[in-house]
Amino acid sequence: MVTINLVILGPAGSGKSTLTANFGKWIQKELGFKVSYVNLDPGAEYLPYRPDYDIRSLVTVKEVMKREKLGPNGAIIRCMDIMMENIDKVVKKISGLKSDYRLIDTPGQMEPFTFRRIGPELVSKLSDLGSVISLFLVDSVLASSVTGLIVVELMGLVVQLRLLAPTLIILNKADLLRVSFDIEKLLTDPEYLTKALNKDMKEGLINDLMLFLGEAILQYFQASRLIKISAKECKGFEALYDLIHETFCTCGDLT
Amino acid sequence: MVTINLVILGPAGSGKSTLTANFGKWIQKELGFKVSYVNLDPGAEYLPYRPDYDIRSLVTVKEVMKREKLGPNGAIIRCMDIMMENIDKVVKKISGLKSDYRLIDTPGQMEPFTFRRIGPELVSKLSDLGSVISLFLVDSVLASSVTGLIVVELMGLVVQLRLLAPTLIILNKADLLRVSFDIEKLLTDPEYLTKALNKDMKEGLINDLMLFLGEAILQYFQASRLIKISAKECKGFEALYDLIHETFCTCGDLT
């Protein structure tokens, strides 16, 4: 079996490390596959899993703050650049981990990883050596309105286009999600979407834009690409695994 | 004259503070308007302007790291939440600054400000009291390919939809931008776009998606919404000012 790299991204607080730990355990226990764990967050203070490769052996935000007398923002950026300078070493370490699945946890803030060179380059190099699927994780609260859901879909697009890897959008903490609309129906039924948007929005300049985007997203995306889980409660993992597997089978040869 | 709040956002390193300083000076000197400066980055180490209100009088990332024994990521998030807890006080301070323009510099990382409650809430409260235009600043290097340009447009959309304020996309460091295509033509001529995309892209699964998005963006956006400047060299400021003024006149009454 070829190794599948799962790159887990998302805004701070979306539950990346919890998903890495619990989904990894689930894959090992329920499916019997060998899993390795990678931490790429140089600012991590505590991890709920034991990383087989840890970027903090190369660099940490705190030591950069101290050594280079930088503020936290500057130090995070500097860490990304240090990772970039050492990318071949990092890729070698990761690709040396023999397993069926590699769960790759990324920096707390998604932005410096995704918008600087390191994220796209790393994914590109891993794709040359195997299969990469990116899991874009967001807190369900961001998708608790129709406009919020559309913003999440757009963000998923941005991630996919920056990393150029198939990307699954995952709503975490879904057990806490309370919405007045049917997400699946929203992403498949244009009439339902238009109604929900009209109900959701204030009047004004944003209205037309949202309607346009909603319909555009609906035209293009399959509802199945969006999935609800609870990383903490280990819920939705079967559906997530099925989607990963399906994505791998569809895209595996193209990447 | 009503006060116009310019909220300056963008990824770390995009030049937010430099734009705040130099565009502010330019508005004062060239147009004779009164400008006030606001710093909302609790992690800022050095500012090239003297803020009339500085969030660091409320909270700093470093003191939160120390006091609450948090890592840099956790401390940045905690700062956003502290700002949110004090939002009425912060809005009062900002809206108390009497001037024609308020230049509001935002946190180094765009993500925690835009995706947590603080960014949208602050813009909403300022909009109730006056006019708000968001300036989404990116390093031109991100827009140096056709796909890159489309990602930047999508990011601008995300910002606009999160903040619900008119948003201008500004390519900074444009003096360093070397592209093999005509940006204006790309955003107005569907045939030219399709050709450029076909030339720019590798084969594979991303192809269709990019074509679709490119055409969708082209259908909806005016090229004039995207502007090239150099904040450091004070270039493009007249065009930027004109666009702000035009946006204000079009949207001023709607926000």
CATH number at residue B119: 3.40.50.300
Quick check: A221 pLDDT over 70?
no
Kind of pairing between the strands at A131-139 and A101-105: unpaired
Chain A positions in Cβ-Cβ contact with residue B160 (cut-off 8 Å):
206, 209
Listed by number, the residues of chain A in 175-234 with a beta carbon closer than 8 Å to a beta carbon of chain B are: 202, 204-206, 209-210, 212-213, 216, 220
Q: pTM of the prediction?
A: 0.87
Alpha carbon distance B255, B252 (integer Å):
6
pLDDT given at position B128: 92
Question: What values do phi and psi take at B234, rounded to 5?
Answer: 55, 40
Residue of A17, A114, A115, A213 best to disrupt the B interface, most CBs of B under 10 A: A115
pLDDT given at position A247: 86
Q: Please say whether the beta carbons of A123 and A163 come within 8 A.
A: yes
Answer with the residue of higher pLDDT: B181 or A141.
A141
Neighbours of A100 (CB within 10 A): 16
Residues of chain A with pLDDT > 90, as a percent, come to 59
CB contact under 8 A, B205 and A13: no
Quick check: A245 pLDDT over 50?
yes
Quick check: A57 pLDDT over 90?
yes
Query: What ipTM was predicted for this assembly?
Result: 0.81
* pLDDT tens digits, one per residue of A79-137: 999 999 999 999 999 999 999 999 999 999 899 999 889 999 999 999 999 999 999 99
Answer with the residue of higher pLDDT: A245 or A212.
A245
Quick check: A255 pLDDT over 60?
no
Q: Is B219 contained in some domain? A: no
- Structural domain including B112 reads 4-177+225-247
CA B45 to chain centre: 20
CA B211, A168, A138: angle at the middle one, nearest 5? 115
* pLDDT tens digits, one per residue of B163-187: 988 899 999 998 888 787 887 787 7
Answer with the residue of higher pLDDT: A205 or B211.
B211
Positive/negative CA dihedral, A147, A148, A150, A155: positive
Q: Is B212 contained in some domain? A: no
Quick check: A8 pLDDT over 70?
yes
Q: Is B130 contained in some domain? A: yes
Q: Could you tell me which residues are beta bridge partners of residue A9?
A: A136
pLDDT given at position A224: 46
The nearest alpha carbon in chain A to B167 belongs to A206
Would you place residue A223 in the very low, low, confident or very high pLDDT band (cuts 50, 70, 90)? Answer: very low
Query: Total domain count for chain B?
Result: 1
Q: Please say whether the beta carbons of A159 and A9 come within 8 A.
A: yes
pLDDT given at position B224: 46
Residue of B77, B84, B115 best to disrupt the A interface, most CBs of A under 10 A: B115
DSSP H or E segment with residue B39: strand B35-39
Alpha carbon distance B75, B67 (integer Å):
10
Q: Is B158 contained in some domain? A: yes
Q: Please say whether the beta carbons of B228 and B203 come within 8 A.
A: no
Listed by number, the residues of chain A in 155-174 with a beta carbon closer than 8 Å to a beta carbon of chain B are: 155, 157-158, 160-162, 164, 166
pLDDT given at position B100: 96
Alpha carbon distance B38, B35 (integer Å):
10
Chain B positions in Cβ-Cβ contact with residue A251 (cut-off 8 Å):
205
Q: Is A30 contained in some domain? A: yes
Helices and strands in chain A: count of H runs, count of E runs = 11, 7
* pLDDT tens digits, one per residue of B133-152: 999 999 998 888 887 888 88
Token digits for B165?
């304020």
Q: Is B142 contained in some domain? A: yes
CB contact under 8 A, A112 and B11: yes
Positive/negative CA dihedral, A239, A240, A244, A250: positive
Kindly give the parts of chain B with pLDDT less than 50: 203, 205, 223-224, 252-255
Q: Is B81 contained in some domain? A: yes
Q: Is A54 contained in some domain? A: yes
Question: Could you give the count of Cα atoms lying within 13 Å of A244 in the half-sphere of its Cβ?
Answer: 24
Neighbours of A110 (CB within 10 A): 25
Would you place residue A210 in the very low, low, confident or very high pLDDT band (cuts 50, 70, 90)? Answer: low
- Who contacts B32 (Cβ-Cβ below 8 Å, separation ≥6)? none
- Who contacts A56 (Cβ-Cβ below 8 Å, separation ≥6)? A39, A42, A44
Alpha carbon distance B41, A97 (integer Å):
40
Please tell me whether residue B54 adopts helix, strand or coil conformation: strand
Would you place residue A253 in the very low, low, confident or very high pLDDT band (cuts 50, 70, 90)? Answer: very low
Alpha carbon distance B32, B29 (integer Å):
5
Using CB atoms, pick whichever of A45, A147, A220 lies closest to residue B71.
Answer: A45
